[in-house]
Structure 1
């Protein structure tokens, strides 16, 4: 396992840290504590951290424009005003099903937003993966236990997602202009032991940077599924990465203490914290979400 220069970006512990993203225009990183119903905002130039309390279980967000974000939550998608945090429901998402919540999500280069749901207790097959394309929400895949690793090739022609319940990373051919599937998913990586396939992001060269839940690391895979690198993260339950910095050359990684007994937390002193790995990676900016009215 490789060691790279690593710093703690935020020492506040997240029960379930997830959904990091970065807005280069404001040099701001965002991520969630899903269970704690908190949204973290960090200005990288100053190091200023603001923690926003939420009335919903937010799990991910995408930038719409300089004034608005689309926030993914347990009962729907909300337009959030960045200036004052005001949220307006845009589309319901399994709002009639109290047993589920949102989880992993990421924006396709076309502006289509892929979003995963799952059971609040990770019940088998209770989740799904949706695509928000030009304002229309379509269910792509059913009977998913824990949707994760939603990410896309730089040209938008390939999508990736995982079901952590099966510990399989899938690839699927996409229409690059819409971000919608053109074929059936096929298994790309299957992990047998040593942790679960969690959140992921794809760099400018098409390499997949995947957080390993329970493994305390980031795994790097080629588009063909070849394992290339494993990089240590200081918390055992590393959950999701995002490229940050004006040149997208560093990696922000969230973590969690969900499900850890007291003795396990003592043995993992950085549990739930958020880190920056100085890797000199060739990352990419996150696309903006395109809404029907955009």
Structure 2
């Protein structure tokens, strides 16, 4: 492992996902979905804290300095930062015990795109939803593994993937609310080393950085969908990147050890990694709630 890339903490996530960053507290957050855990890493004193959750969760959005929103298998919950207490904001597929939360990201307008999937990746069991100031609506149905949800810096374009189909979609959006204004189109289908598109984030220039599950790398794609850079990560199942730091010049990447036989594990599978970003990133917007 090079000096420019380091393992952030000596932990191994069964299914690491949903990394994000709070610039006000200089803190990174991520989940181990299957172990029902939320991790908090404070860069100020290099301290790591693990929070046990009552249910599986996969994504976090900052609301303000006192509150966060967790996307869980039962829906959206507000989490109080001081004591970790949870209160239901909006149920999502709570009655469906066969699905759980997966990928999600906040649109520049403050709306939330949220993807669900089957616990065993059942074919077309998932959906992608749009939550905006108390209102939830379904955007896309019949998605097997929703991933790579991210947006152009101005909010005019949205992206998402169905990992099972190994394709990333592109759709034009209303910048005021993050709702589609036309039908999605297939955008990227060619991935190096047969990597499958997992979580993704956009940088300040609108490039898309996609975790390539199974390929041990993050791929950088320009706004036209052309691969222009790859970043090797010492884990086979890279799951999601996030820009880190008050200047958004570092990148944090989660990974997963789930499903790997002992004889093929590298010892760093499931790790969380940090390195200097190859380009200027951007800080994710806060979620707007009523």
TM range (shorter): over 0.9
CA contact (8 A) 1:191 1:197 kept: no
The answer for unaligned runs of 5 or more in structure 1 is: none
Residue 279 of structure 2 is aligned with which of 258, 274, 281? 281
2:218 paired with 1:234 = no
2-structure distance, mates of 1:235, 1:277: 14
2-structure distance, mates of 1:102, 1:147: 9
CA contact (8 A) 1:248 1:281 kept: no
Q: Deviations over 1:241-278 (max 9, x none)?
A: 0000110001000000111111122xx12010100021
Deviation at 1:279, TM superposition (A): 2.6
Match of 2:267 in 1: 269
Match of 1:61 in 2: 60
2-structure distance, mates of 1:21, 1:143: 27
Match of 1:253 in 2: 253
1-structure distance, mates of 2:284, 2:143: 25
Match of 1:101 in 2: 100
Deviation at 1:234, TM superposition (A): 1.0
2-structure distance, mates of 1:248, 1:180: 27
Question: Helix, strand or coil: the match of 1:110?
Answer: coil
Question: Helix, strand or coil: the match of 1:121?
Answer: coil
The number of equivalent residue pairs is 288
Question: Aligned in 2, Cα 1:177/1:4: closer, same or farther, shift over 3 Å?
Answer: farther
2-structure distance, mates of 1:10, 1:215: 22
Structure 1 runs (4+) deviating above 6 angstroms are none
Match of 1:138 in 2: 137
Q: Deviations over 1:56-75 (max 9, x none)?
A: 10100100111000100001
Moved more, 181-190 or 276-285: 276-285
Q: Deviations over 1:47-106 (max 9, x none)?
A: 100000000101001001110001000011100001110000111110111000000000
Match of 1:223 in 2: 223
Match of 1:8 in 2: 7
CA contact (8 A) 1:4 1:279 kept: no
1-structure distance, mates of 2:219, 2:138: 29
Q: Provide the TM-score with structure 2 as the length reference.
A: 0.97
Question: Helix, strand or coil: the match of 2:44?
Answer: coil
Moved more, 278-287 or 133-142: 278-287
1-structure distance, mates of 2:275, 2:138: 35
2-structure distance, mates of 1:11, 1:221: 30
